[in-house]
Structure 1
């Protein structure tokens, strides 16, 4: 086990390490296994600082952490999305145990991309389901069926039914219930005939939190977000699950975002979920319509930030009757 030291992160000062040592938090694994809110009290640091340290440690010690918590002793291969350009952008597909933040404006095609991913992964991984948390009644089994039938011309009724059954949908319209549902996934011991999902999708987060906060507000309830990301991170790493979260973007106006130290992308937009969320996920993707090619459904996916992908890298995809291709 790797011992915590000042060399691992600037915020891990000698003073902070002494406080952690008093509570027997001496290794990277022990640090990552304690909830951030508890660590913040122990180390006398703000919760956002703890999250920053955790993200850095997870990125630096990915292989050893993954081996320590995965049911397998090795990393699983990337989960192909079935969308050629996107898989190339993602270096083979979605990384198991990794959390992706899919951002975009309204009508950019985020839900269409989620439905396509659900259909493709459920079809390709018949031994592992896809979990789809629908927070705004956007999930469409009819659209999933259309994608499958258009993409697989000789699809039998039995295989279609099996694939549809392989997508487990849960409708959640309350942030507290979403957190409870994900925490329950972490606590539940899985039987041999109940495999963990290959992919977990939440479409979307802001639609829940905006029930209580103005869309321009950055005061998203920190406690719930902290619990959610901790549970998602633990579930993903324990069971080699790729996690995709749908998010919105906000247009930066009059330098307000800059004054608040928000991370603005190259198109002048920032993530809608507040300061904390900017460092909570490992990879953030930005989906946008190509204005000059809207008639053929073209969209562009850009790597906004990532621990393992080149920032600014782009791929062009299209929304068709077969889903996103």
Structure 2
């Protein structure tokens, strides 16, 4: 089978298509004939700096859709040939991937394989940020960094559906702002990584926002913290800036009684897989119910993974990027 390997760290050019053995599932696992693979910023960090890479060579990729190929010992509730979406700990840039059964989800009725590949990381992350960690209440205001990205696209829709008083986004270009305004946002700031705090204060009559969601870290996280209202909450769910780990202390929290929390879907998959499963099932229902849609804005063949990384790395993409494993995807399209 084909797989896209990282054999050394570096730019998109280090992604190499290789022929390798088909992996077999172990106990509690299953293998999947991949139809589509989602491209995430974590994949770029894995390629460039070894983020969550246990050893080289390494096949990146955290989410897939496809059909169950084989079941490992002890796996129940799924059948060979069933269409599923899965969260993996890597290995998804391939024709076949192995995943823990607890993070494999049957596709809901009406959700095709192409749409299914957009769901496993983005949708539960956004759902958790709004409902489980951020605990948004009707009438509260929300600020989202990266409002035009995959998670940002879903966050705007979920916050709006949850009755947010206003949903604000931060993006890096006018084109991204236009896109975000079509996906649940009331106002979008095209600004630098730190100057948005003043604009947020002005937009909220100097009150600030109740909930700020930040995947960037560093100075952007500090500016998000400075954008909070009395009793506001900040949730960190990434460190795209690559900045040193941040620290928050009493001087930051006490004056307005604000709080800071964090979320990582990959860590939750390791520490509380059953809770992740329940969270994901609730999140998937928002797609079935028509609350959320996540547009696929670019699709690449598996061997074009480097091109997908170039596009995402340029910070000009919106929505969701996918890789296509032609054999299974083609069968789905012709079914």
* Same fold? TM cut 0.5: no
- Per the normalisation by structure 1, the TM-score is 0.32
Higher relative contact order (CA 8 A, sep 6+): 1
- Per the normalisation by structure 2, the TM-score is 0.31
